Chains A and B, each alone.
Chain A
Amino acid sequence: MTFAAIEEWQVSAPEGAPAGALVVAPPNLDAVARVLGWASEVGRPVLPWGGGTRMGPSGGVVPEVVVLTSQLTRVVDWQPDDLTLVVEAGALVDDVEAMLAERQQSAVLAERANGSTIGGMIASGASGYRRLRYGPTRDRILETVMASGDGRVFTSGGRVVKNVTGYDIPRLACGSLGSLGIIGQVCLKLWPVPESAATLDVTVDAFDGLYRPMALLETEDGAMAYLAGTAEEVAGQAAAVGAHAQPGLQWPMPLGGDVQIELRVPSPLTSAAVTQLRNAGATEFRAQHGIGLVAAEFDSWSSERLEELRTWAEGQGGAAVVLASPQSDIDRWGQAPGSVDLQRRVKAAFDPRRIMVPGRLPGGV
């Protein structure tokens, strides 16, 4: 494979891309595979690029090739009556959800996705607030078509809602952050959108009285419970907790600052995590009760603060993850899991030349 074979796909760099990198926007997944095959041969580190909304700290490695999924945006097959959708990875989450909403369906991806792609959302393992009701995103990835780090296109899983045919590589791809290869196409399991929904102003104490809410959030402004179901169910639950109900699901604005840390702890410790973050000086936060995820924003960067939060979260069997930092060489994860050697071998199975975002996973994997 020569450079000439991929040169035609070169485009100008998107905002925020590493300076000096070769940026390509291949027209299809086979072309993506050719780029990765070439990069494997010449040993150039690669960064997959979806919406570029959430690149986060890079782990210190400067990518030399940036592969955009901007040409992979087709909706391949939507089966509303089967509640499945096959879509290419570069499609925008907001566009896909808007399309699905026409038939009262949803892929239950993160709310307020602002420019995120389906592939980026899956690769970063992000779930929406509604995971409390529907489970995390990884529960809904039925099939993936990927280009591996060494440039092969392979399919895993299947387009059915229940399947144990072969190893669950779609689930492995979720949260892989591009370390195995590039996700080109996925089949997602959809959920019907309930007929009625409401957002309740409550206190955290009221959370326990609700049956299967969509989400239970707490921010610096207070607590909100999100309900959906039949009109009677929503009204009945709202009345039972005696809360003021606004119609629809009114999600808080996403955090946007340069300094963001997320605590991941067992769900009963959500309030404790909020306290930790407040004491550490968080200006804004989004706490998901019942899940154990609290993301927070700070005015300025402090390594000592990160260490303190980490010591606490890791002591609870969790983690403190850096979502955004002005310093690019920061350790995003903290203590690597005990399975780090196995993680390294799993990465090597798909990316033997170690070109895919090397060092982006915990433990420098």
Chain B
Amino acid sequence: MTLAADLRLVLGADRVLDHPLDLQIYAKDAGVTPGTVAAVVFPETTQEVAAVVRIAVVHEVPIVARGAGTGLSGGAVPTRPGLVVALTRLNQIWEVDEAAHTAWVGPGVINLELSQHTTPLGLHYAPDPSSQSACTIGGNVGTNAGGPHCLAEGSTVSHILAVELVTAGGDVLLLGGAAPDPIGLDLVGVVVGSEGTMGLVTKVLVKLTENAPEVRTLLLAFPTIEAAAETVSSVVAGGIVPAALELMDRPMIEAVENFKSCGFPLDAAAVLIAEVAGHPAAVEAEAQLVADAGAAAGATEIRIAATAAERDLIWLGRKSAFGAVAYAAPDYYLHDTVVPRTRLVEAMSGIYEIGERYGISMLNVFHAGDGNLHPLVAFDAKEPGMLEKVRAAADEMVKLSIEVGGALSGEHGIGLEKRDLMGEMFSAVDLDAQARLRDAFDPIGILNPDKVLPEGSRCFDFGLVANLDPESAA
């Protein structure tokens, strides 16, 4: 029987797509590289996911987990004709434990909906990617997603206590648990951020965070981008870790103001959005510290939101950034690299230099407090040679980040987009260690193949260890 026929036996006719027109929609995520899809399935239970995996194994078809498809690195894009397993229908909020500050949820739950669900309890789910109204918890687990408020609270991995995982063999495993420090190796930490290469996550135990009693949001305007970056460095060095520190440059401010008028100063070269949250007595002092750091760096304007409405307006500006770009240009390529915070100024000037040299139009809005850069290139893919140019510039930006001591990706993942740059950061021996770890989870190589690790990463065999020549390995 064909793959689709076998799948229909388990899921029925309407939860299996294999018409070419339907498949096209699932051939891409929010990034720029398309793939090829053999079929798309919509399981609704863990058992159905396991059954689907076993069928794919029999048919030797690669399995690609998919959440909302808002990923930007090609993680949910099948490279060889693959089976896309959409986990969006596993979207129950199973149980919220108010005393423990935890919740068991399906991977298909939308990030923002989880926080809305727990608002009446005074709790929220802390990682807040800018895509939070669309992306899923499963996708967030897949990429170890970050967000503006991960500066103080940490990325997704710090908020995941347990996962239910369907393995490459179609078995169901529970990793982690509600008790602290589960015994044995920390496999939850490996699964989070593994981009669907270690298994399919079918249930997640998340940690919920108490809402802060007091919040202050500041908007600081600067005459140069360097002055804004300097403020970030001096706040971080100054002994407080704010809840958020986001930077926007002039092109981005203009795009946002054209799209939704949020009252951002159009004459500034950069604005910094800073938020401090916590005990009322601390918030006052910390807001002052941020304001002082901004003033010392030459801020031309320092606004402290006086009301909830003013605060919401500032965040509306920040969260509309990508929508604003989509509105202004047919295509965009959103980069994601990370650098030490002490090298922010240097990294930013390097990135502008690359943009100018390639003659591409670039806008910046990013998680400056983490050193997590997001140069965004707006372009028209129909223009011949444009995408190639954009990609070449991207590679240079990544290499620049590595040169100043940074890493390939802070939150969007490696996927397809950065796979072949892994060698810029890791040696053959480093990559081999990662490949072995992956093989331990997926010995048959069926889970999201061609992602994360470049071809040939698994370069040494067990028996050869002793003869390994360190020169050739490096």
Contact = CB atoms under 8 A, between A and B. Distances in A.
Interface of A: 1, 37, 40-41, 79-84, 104, 125, 127, 135-136, 138-139, 148, 150-156, 158-169, 171-172, 174-176, 179, 191-193, 195, 211-212, 229-230, 232-233, 236-237, 264-268, 291-293, 313, 316-319, 321, 333-334, 336-340, 342-343, 345-350, 352, 361-363, 365
A229 B282 contact: yes
A160 B371 contact: yes
Interface residues of B, number: 93
B407 A79 contact: no
Interface string B162-185: 000001000001110111111111
A175 B185 contact: yes
A136 to B, nearest CB: 7
B186 interface: yes
Contact of B185 (A81, A176, A292, A352): A176
Contacts of B341: 81-83, 161
Given A212-B279, A268-B99, A158 B425 contact: yes
Contacts of B468: 151-152
Q: Which of A138, A337, A363 has most chain B Cβ within 10 Å?
A: A337
Contacts of B99: 267-268
A337 B425 CA distance: 34
Contact of B190 (A160, A172, A229): A172
B367 A349 contact: no
A89 B80 CA distance: 43
B452 A166 contact: yes
Interface in B442-474: 443, 452-453, 462, 465-466, 468, 473
Given A166-B434, A167-B434, A319-B183, A339 B427 contact: no
Interface stretch (B83-91, B236-244, B265-273, B319-327): B236-244
Contact of A163 (B173, B284, B338, B427): B338
Contact of A292 (B179, B213, B278, B429): B179
Nearest to A180: B185
Contact of A266 (B100, B438, B473): B100
B422 A166 contact: yes
B194 interface: yes
Interface string B90-106: 00000001011110000
Contacts of A150: 462, 465
Contacts of A340: 184
Contacts of B338: 158, 160, 162-163
Contacts of B233: 81
Interface stretch (B13-21, B131-139, B143-151, B385-393): B143-151
A155 B423 CA distance: 12
A153 B342 contact: no
Contacts of B430: 154-156, 166
A167 B194 contact: yes
Interface string B276-315: 0011111011100000000000000000000000000000
Nearest to A177: B185
Contact of B436 (A136, A232, A349): A349
Contacts of B380: none
A146 to B, nearest CB: 8
B184 A268 contact: no
Given A79-B342, A212-B210, A164 B185 contact: no
B97 to A, nearest CB: 8
Contacts of B465: 37, 40, 150-152, 352
Given A174-B186, A319-B183, A346-B437, 19 more contacts: A40-B466, A83-B241, A151-B466, A154-B432, A158-B338, A164-B155, A167-B452, A172-B187, A195-B239, A211-B210, A313-B179, A316-B179, A333-B183, A337-B184, A342-B173, A345-B441, A345-B443, A346-B185, A362-B183
